[in-house]
Amino acid sequence: MKTRQIILGMLIFFMAVSPAYATPDLYSWMFNIDGVVTEYVNEYDTSGMPVNAALGTNDLGIFTYRVATQGAHSFIGYFDYEFDEAQNTFFNERGSVSGSPGAGMSWQIDTIDNLAAGNIFDNLYDNTLNNSNMIPDEGDISWAMGWDYFLEANQAAVIRLVVSAVMPDAGFFLTHTDNDTGESIYFSGILDIQPVPEPQSLALLGLGCVMLFLARGMSSRFRNRKGKCIAGNM
């Protein structure tokens, strides 16, 4: 009985002194798409993004953008997540980098804290992310990731940015860690350039579908007429 009481007392003690799970929330966001910058209006408000945002608990999820215009393009997505800011402040965070970025890819981890002003805002506006982690130890983390790319005729680009509490198995990604709790979220992305069927191919495909539909209709009418002739001859 005493042993059980001691164990229970130890559990209560460690629960009391252990830091609580850190809850991330998206404080602010910005996108620079082909030189046009769109940014948040209200803090912790995810509405108005120029991308498709499929977000779940704590504003984590997938941000998707698609374009099919021939020529040179640029894209940058910026996010500033906070971990339990009201409980353990916002400048107790650190960033880290894993893997190697792909061709045409750029990134940056930096702060916008007035006590240690970074340049991630300026670099986002100028499309000049510096591929550097400026907060390896402690500060107010924000991060950005983007691509410069070119689309040929009949090509489309799909960009997916993923912010998740689950660490990617491989590839390039950024990590945002809350120093007080040790909890982390991860930022990764992919640029996928896909072929788009030429208009002639789509027209031929549509014509083929129409011909197939007409052929099926004619075959059905022929069978019906044949049945009627057989019935009449009987």
State the average pLDDT for the chain.
Answer: 80
Residue 67: strand pairing partners = 157
**Residue 193 DSSP class:** E
38-73 pLDDT tens trace = 999 999 999 999 999 999 978 999 999 999 999 999
- Kind and range of the H or E run holding 190: strand 184-195
Residues 6 or more apart whose Cβ sits within 8 Å of residue 143: 78, 79, 80, 95, 107, 108, 109, 110, 120, 174, 176, 187
Residues 6 or more apart whose Cβ sits within 8 Å of residue 214: none
% residues pLDDT > 90 (the chain): 61
pLDDT at 171 over 80: yes
Q: What pTM value is reported for the model? A: 0.75
Give the pLDDT score at 115.
55
Q: Report how far residue 78's alpha carbon sits from residue 87's, in angstroms, rounded to the nearest whole number.
A: 24
74-96 pLDDT tens trace = 999 999 999 876 566 677 899 99
Higher-confidence position of 200 and 88: 88
**Of 132, 58, 128, 60, which is closest to residue 96 (Cα–Cα)?**
132
